[in-house]
Structure 1
Amino acid sequence: MNIIIRQAQLDDLDRITFVESTCFPQTEAANKTQFQQRLLTFKESFFVAEHYNQIIGFINGAVIDEPTISDILFKQADLHKPSGTYQTIFGLDIMPDYRHQGIAIKLMNHMIDYAKSTKRKGVILTCKENLIPFYNQFGYVNHGISESIHGGAIWYDMILLF
Structure 2
Amino acid sequence: MLEFIIRRVRPEDLDRIAEIEALCFPAAEAASREAFQDRIKAFPGYFLVADIDGTLIGFINGCVTNSSVIYDEMFHNIQHHIPNGSNLSVFGLDVIPEYRRQGVAAQLMQHFIQIAKNTGRKSIILTCKGRLVHYYESFGYANQGISESKHGGSQWFDMTLVLQRN
TM-score grouping bracket, smaller chain normalisation = over 0.9
Q: Report the AA paired with residue 13 of structure 2.
A: D
TM-score (norm 2): 0.97
Q: For residues 66 and 15 of structure 1, what CA distance do their matches in structure 2 show?
A: 30
Match of 2:145 in 1: 144
Match of 1:134 in 2: 135
Q: For residues 77 and 12 of structure 1, what CA distance do their matches in structure 2 show?
A: 19
Match of 1:46 in 2: 47
Q: Report the AA paired with residue 146 of structure 2.
A: I
Instruction: Report the secondary structure of 1:81's partner residue.
Output: coil
Q: Check conservation: 1:6, 1:47, Cα contact below 8 A.
A: yes
Q: For residues 127 and 142 of structure 2, what CA distance do their matches in structure 1 show?
A: 11
Match of 2:10 in 1: 9
Aligned residues: CA RMSD = 0.5
Query: How far 1:77 moved relative to its partner?
Result: 1.2
Match of 2:161 in 1: 160
**What are structure 1's unaligned runs of at least 5 residues?**
none
Q: Check conservation: 1:19, 1:56, Cα contact below 8 A.
A: yes
**What are structure 2's unaligned runs of at least 5 residues?**
none
Q: For residues 8 and 78 of structure 1, what CA distance do their matches in structure 2 show?
A: 20
Aligned residues: 162
Instruction: Report the secondary structure of 1:37's partner residue.
Output: helix
Query: How far 1:159 moved relative to its partner?
Result: 0.1
TM-score (norm 1): 0.99
Residues 112-151 of structure 1: CA deviation (Å, up to 9, x unaligned): 0000000000100000000001100110000000000000
Instruction: Report the secondary structure of 2:74's partner residue.
Output: helix
Match of 2:96 in 1: 95
Q: For residues 145 and 78 of structure 1, what CA distance do their matches in structure 2 show?
A: 25
